[in-house]
Amino acid sequence: MTIGDQLIDGLQSELGRPMDGLLGGSYLREFLVTVDYPHGSLQLQRYVPPAVIQDEFKRVGFELGTGSGAHAYAVAVVYPGTDAEAKGIRMGDVILSVDGQDLDSLDPISADETLDGTVGTTKQIGLGAAADPSLANTTIAVRVDDLIPLPQVSTGH
């Protein structure tokens, strides 16, 4: 189950009814949104030129946390079903660099932003100490995933 599935399932439980997906900030931030409550309408006007905003849910499938010892960052969470999980990245693995950028000198927000990208591209993740000894002190290519995938379309069968 992906993080998107978990999010939708949690919201369905809270609302007490089924949901197909979410229309939220990752889509709406490209528009000037006007909510006309008295008339019950929502108006969307796309920004021109389009806003170039990185989607924080399109990234490699792990989150950074505080490292221990000499290095600032380690893996705090690995999302199930992502390429990061498939490549063997585990909680506690020390992350030294992303695409050659040394993370130890970066603040937490800047370090986290190095994990964002275009779905399907790869990031070169430099590992230090790792839960799997064969990954220690290596660089591995990890695909950028969409952590909130499109909803499954029912075929009615």
Asked whether residue 18 carries a pLDDT value surpassing 90, the answer given is no
pTM above 0.85, yes or no: no
pLDDT tens-digit map of 26-39: 677 778 888 888 88
Domain locations in the chain as residue ranges: 22-53, 58-146
pLDDT tens-digit map of 79-109: 988 999 999 999 999 999 999 999 999 999 8
CATH architecture of 58-146: Roll (2.30)
How does the average pLDDT of the chain come out, rounded? 84
Residues 6+ away with beta carbon under 8 Å from 129:
93, 94, 136
Residues 1-24 have a mean pLDDT of 77
Instruction: Copy the structure tokens of residue 106.
Output: 């970066």
Rg of the chain's alpha carbons, rounded to an integer?
A: 19
pLDDT tens-digit map of 20-78: 777 776 677 778 888 888 888 888 888 776 555 556 678 899 999 988 778 889 999 99
| C-alpha dist (Å) from residue 55 to 42, 71, 75, 77, 144 | 23, 27, 20, 18, 11
